[in-house]
Amino acid sequence: MSFVIRPSLETDISAIAVIYAHAVTHGTASFELEPPSESEIARRRNAIMEGGYPYLVAERSGEVLGYAYAGAYRPRPAYRSTVEDSIYVAPSAQGQGVGRALLVALIEQCEALDFRLMVAVIGDEDSHGSIALHRSLGFEPAGILKGIGYKHGRWLSTVLMQRPLGRGTDEPPTRPVT
């Protein structure tokens, strides 16, 4: 079954909120403990887009299957060329290539915007699918933060991975300091 990757729209917020709520409630990709409201999801999405970062959805026949976005890795100006990726896929769409397609498109858009490095902060060392997906698209391990969060009755680690984008660090950044 095919699907399309496109920029997110305000009309996607409800579906995004449902996908994220499931991830918060049942998974370890997010270290949030309670799902945020739709209005909070809308606020976060708007902040990402107003910052000039891509926010994408995968859609099939009007149904949002997943979403991905890149955001600032850290707020200080020296980090302006580095982004952190986030990808969430609806349970019914997992294992269908949605996450891969979203990440490929996200990488392409970030390269077109002249970002130079993408960082993945993967919740839980047991997130083998996410780790394998990132590795298959050129991400390399950068470290593990052991026992950094407590959720679902256990201590969780985060796996850090990174991937150069476009011209990488061979040249100074062109993104302006804001």
pLDDT digits (tens, 9 = 90+) for 29-82: 999 999 999 999 999 999 999 999 999 999 999 999 999 999 999 999 999 999
**127-154: average pLDDT:** 97
Predicted pLDDT of residue 142: 97
Taking CA atoms, 160 is separated from 7, 54, 58, 63, 144, in Å, by 26, 21, 25, 31, 6
Domain with 31 in it: 4-164
pLDDT band for 174, please (50, 70, 90 cuts): confident
**Position 35 in a domain:** yes
pLDDT band for 1, please (50, 70, 90 cuts): low
**Position 169 in a domain:** no
**Position 16 in a domain:** yes
**Position 122 in a domain:** yes
The reported pTM is: 0.96
Proportion of the chain above pLDDT 70, given as a percent: 99
Q: Where are the alpha helices (DSSP H) in 3-97?
A: 13-26, 38-50
Proportion of the chain above pLDDT 90, given as a percent: 94
**Position 171 in a domain:** no
Instruction: List the one residue out of 53, 56, 66 whose CA is nearest residue 118.
Output: 53
Number of domains composing the chain: 1
CATH number at residue 61: 3.40.630.30
**Which pLDDT tens digit goes with each residue over 96-108?**
999 999 999 999 9
CA atoms within 13 A on the CB side of 130: 23
